[in-house]
């Protein structure tokens, strides 16, 4: 079992006991990453549970870096947070990163989950996402920036659909 000691001057201790090998003590600096501290420290784990939990926290960190890339893209194309679709798109990307099968059922599943999260209807989610894409497309920057800097292949005469745009954003967010 893994056993985390109490925090002492910002350092935590992880004790890993393996029957065939013995006992290991690992010191962990806790104050650099509150998410790590919140989601991992303070519990007992088997080695497999600890490694699974550590992997999920690290994937969450990678996901947040991807979300920051998406927000940077939004800024470049003129899609700002004053549009409701902005938050809905971020939520759609987070959900698609966590479960890529969400991209196969955007209207039947993804919109409903976002609607529940924001206490609205799936039709409002769909409409606001479409509006956000239209605003960015009409400013003329969406196609140019996406094609030039992110390798998209959007047609200048055809606005991307909600599903296409969400899939594109998810791809941007998942890039290393």
For helices 162-174 and 47-77, give the axis angle rounded to 10 degrees.
120
- Looking at the predicted structure, is the pLDDT value of residue 131 above 70? yes
Instruction: Quote the percentage of the chain above a pLDDT of 90.
Output: 43
- Looking at the predicted structure, is the pLDDT value of residue 139 above 70? yes
pLDDT, tens digit (0-9, with 9 covering 90-100), for 37-87: 555 555 666 667 766 766 665 665 566 788 899 999 999 998 999 999 999
Q: Enter the pTM of the model.
A: 0.67
- Looking at the predicted structure, is the pLDDT value of residue 2 above 50? no
pLDDT, tens digit (0-9, with 9 covering 90-100), for 88-119: 999 999 999 888 899 999 999 999 999 999 99
Report the sign of the C-alpha dihedral through residues 128, 130, 74, 176, in that order.
Answer: positive
SS3 of residue 148 by DSSP: helix
3-state helix, strand, coil in the chain (%, to 5): 60, 10, 25
pLDDT band at 21 (very low <50, low <70, confident <90, very high): low
Strand partners, 12: 28
pLDDT of residue 99: 87
Query: What is the distance between the alpha carbons of residues 62 and 79, in angstroms, rounded to a whole number?
Result: 23
């Amino acid at each position: 079992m893994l056993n985390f000691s109490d925090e002492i001057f910002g350092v935590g201790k992880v004790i890993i006991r393996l029957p065939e090998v013995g006992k290991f003590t690992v010191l962990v600096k806790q104050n650099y990453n509150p998410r790590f501290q919140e989601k991992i420290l303070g519990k007992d784990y088997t080695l497999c549970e600890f490694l699974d939990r550590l992997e999920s926290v690290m994937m969450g960190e990678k996901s947040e870096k991807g979300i920051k890339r998406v927000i940077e893209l939004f800024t470049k194309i003129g899609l700002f947070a004053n549009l409701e679709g902005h938050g809905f798109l971020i939520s759609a990307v987070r959900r698609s990163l966590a479960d890529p099968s969400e991209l196969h059922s955007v209207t039947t599943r993804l919109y409903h989950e976002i609607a529940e999260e924001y206490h609205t209807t799936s039709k409002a989610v769909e409409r606001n996402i479409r509006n956000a894409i239209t605003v960015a497309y009409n400013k003329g920057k969406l196609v140019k920036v996406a094609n030039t800097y992110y390798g998209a292949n959007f047609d200048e005469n055809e606005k991307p659909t909600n599903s296409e745009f969400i899939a594109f954003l998810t791809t941007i967010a998942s890039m290393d």
